[in-house]
Amino acid sequence: MSIRSILAPLTSDTEWQIAALEAAIALASHRRACVDVLYMKAEPAAAFRGVTALTVTGGKTLAETYAAYEQQIRQQCAAMRQDFADLCKRFGVAVNPGTCPSATWQEADRDPAGELARRGRVSDLIVVGCAAPEGSRTLLELALRSTGRPVLLVPARSGAIPGRRIAIAWNGSIESARALAAALPLLETAQAVTILTARSDHTAPAVAEGARVLLARHDIAAKVRVFEKSLEPPVGRALLEHCREIEADLLVMGAYTHSRAHELLLGGVTSYMAAHADRAVFMMH
């Protein structure tokens, strides 16, 4: 299977959104794919729900504040669309043609979460940004939990197209198996592949061998690196440290292997990556 359809959901935040947009368009150009940009516009009515004239400050009426907010949303959308046009031109990706690579722009202001779910389920890959405020983690979770498709998490300054040197976080879970299978198109063209396994009471080093054999049967030569799991540093940080040591520009991993309650109360590797990843992370739930 190849990556031919990429969805890039965007919100109004700037720096990390631009990085995700650039990565999606660059990947479409590199893979001769089609990228569909879904700009999830803020809905003024939702933002002002429950707001009364008594809560508006600064000498403005409620109507004036609402109008100013609408204007800000229009300006943010126009600026992002200009960035979209500039990036398409830079990477030689045509806008709205019938061939690949190509790009489309759509805006969703009503039920953007539902639109993301619907569009994501018929895409090969979803690209979102990281190293961002709390709202981005909500976008990441939505993309992972509501689509069943792989998600590429892109740091604010991603640099080159990821996939030259790939690390795989492998613990034998269903989620890591799904991520590995979905990442095969990227693994097949990588220059180097390393399987990272954290030894623990629940994960024996031998589990990495099964993943290595599977990749070998796909003509992908992979090395295995086993490290000790500990509370300090947490697994997420340890994975990133090993990625830096082997100069991996992409980490493949399963997402949300714990329950939602566990993630909320104790955190997890997925949440850690959303906040701290310094390189692209390919995830699947």
Question: What are the CA-CA distances from residue 162 to residues 81, 115, 146, 234 (Å)?
Answer: 24, 27, 25, 24
| Look-up of token digits 């629940």 | 202
User: Where do the domains of the chain lie, and which CATH numbers do they carry?
Assistant: 5-154 (3.40.50.620), 165-284 (3.40.50.620)
- Supply the DSSP string of 223-279, one letter for each residue: EEEEEE--SSS-HHHHHHHHHHHTT-SEEEEE---S-HHHHHHH--HHHHHHHH-SS
Q: Which residue has the higher pLDDT, 251 or 43?
A: 251
- The mean pLDDT value for 154-164 works out to 81
Q: What's at 278, amino acid-wise?
A: D
Do 104 and 6 meet the contact criterion of CB atoms below 8 Å apart? no
Return the residue matching tokens 């979102």.
Answer: 128
Q: Global pTM?
A: 0.87
Cα 265 to Cα 231: distance, rounded to the nearest angstrom: 16
Is 220 a residue whose pLDDT tops 80? yes
Q: Are 108 and 98 in contact (CB under 8 A)?
A: no
What is the layout of strands, in order, in the sheet containing 222-228?
A: 94-95, 102-108, 34-40, 5-10, 125-129, 151-154, 280-284, 250-254, 165-169, 192-199, 222-228
Mean pLDDT of 200-205: 66
At 49, is the pLDDT very low, low, confident or very high (cuts 50, 70, 90)?
A: low
Tell me: the pLDDT tens digits for 251-269? 999 998 755 544 444 448 8
- pLDDT given at position 112: 85
SS (H, E, C) 162-217: CCCEEEEECCCCHHHHHHHHHCHHHHCCCCEEEEEEEECCCCCCCHHHHHHHHHHH
Enumerate residues 6+ apart whose C-beta is below 8 A from 37: 8, 10, 21, 24, 84, 103, 104, 105, 106
d(CA 94, CA 129): 23
Which among 6-15, 52-61, 114-123, 159-168 has the top mean pLDDT?
114-123
Q: Which tokens go with 254?
A: 């399963």
**Residue closest to 101 by CA, chosen among 6, 11, 196:** 6
Q: Which residues contact 88 (CB under 8 A, 6 or more apart)?
A: 25, 94, 95, 103
Q: Which tens digit of pLDDT belongs to each residue from 232-241?
A: 668 899 999 9
pLDDT of residue 228: 78
